[in-house]
Amino acid sequence: MTTPPTVGTPAQPPGETGATVQAEIGIIGGSGFYSFLDGAHETTVDTPFGEPSAPVTVGTCAGRRVAFVPRHGRGHRLPAHRVNYRANLWALRALGARQVLAPCAVGSMRPELGPGSLVIPDQVIDRTWGRKHTIFDDEGAAIHVSFAEPYCPRGRHTVASAAEQVGWPARTGSTLVVINGPRFSTRAESRWHAAMGAEIVGMTGMPEAAIARELALCYTSVAVVTDLDAGFEDGEGVTQTEVFTTFSRSLERLKSLLALAVDELPAGDCVCRHSLDGMNLPFPLP
């Protein structure tokens, strides 16, 4: 490991490590976002944690430089528990991105939040296991970031405003529970999650959000409901086909929302960027 950065200062920005700033905003989502960017080109980013899910695509949206990585890889080849969340987020930061929008598909545990509903969570419950949950997992790297408020407040406000402008009512102030997958929940698990206070359930929100905080990134989850979870529907339970079909129907509206959010995301400082202030990091960030 290299010498830790100076206490209380950001770990070396891209300009000081030889990297070229190519983007200011990152998007982690499905493969349908390849057509989201103008003048797009792929770039390969080396990370200490291996390869991202796929080469990062960099282009322009709403006049701003955006880097996109497909969370599950090309062709949705990676199940949620095999996604290299650390590499994906490190790559976005290495390209200069400091704000990340993270669209995802979720199930609902509230009947009023039916398929096609938009949710911008403000809290998360982590029920994943066996994943690489931190970038600080070597000996001598006991770094503890605050995670009481897991999502960027400015990002949440911006996405909610964009949703209102495109006529897509957004549920805010909800709790997302993240399960390990790849299977869906049993009815008993679904009802237990609801009893814990969760309203939506997904498989990819953690450790993605926590690693973003460790990288001092502004991270905003944008959740699209694809189904009622097992404990709250009357059929045989949710299927993968149902999830994919419903999410694809919302894709164009989601692109419009995200394009507006990209345009309106405020530049400059944010509380999320100070998550590592005062800490002796065991290695510099990109």
Task: Give the amino acid at 138.
Answer: D
Residues contacting residue 119 through CB under 8 Å, at least 6 positions apart: 106, 108, 113, 170, 171, 172, 174, 176, 199, 200, 223, 224, 225
**Do β-strands 56-61 and 64-70 pair in parallel, antiparallel, or remain unpaired?**
antiparallel
Task: Give the amino acid at 205.
Answer: G
The residue annotated as part of the active site, out of 38, 227, 269, 277, is 227
Q: CA-CA distance, 283 to 202, in Å (whole number)?
A: 32
How far CA 100 is from CA of 121, 213, 219, in Å, comes to 15, 11, 5
Strands of 38-98, DSSP E: 38-43, 56-61, 64-70
The residue annotated as part of the active site, out of 46, 126, 137, 229, is 229
Of the candidates 265, 242, 253, 243, the one whose C-alpha atom is nearest the C-alpha of residue 36 is: 253
Residues contacting residue 126 through CB under 8 Å, at least 6 positions apart: 178, 206, 207, 210
Would you call 227 a catalytic residue per the annotation?
yes
Assess contact for 190 and 108: CB atoms under 8 A: no
Would you call 126 a catalytic residue per the annotation?
no
How far CA 198 is from CA of 25, 29, 174, 255, in Å, comes to 29, 22, 7, 26
- Enumerate the active-site residues: 227, 229
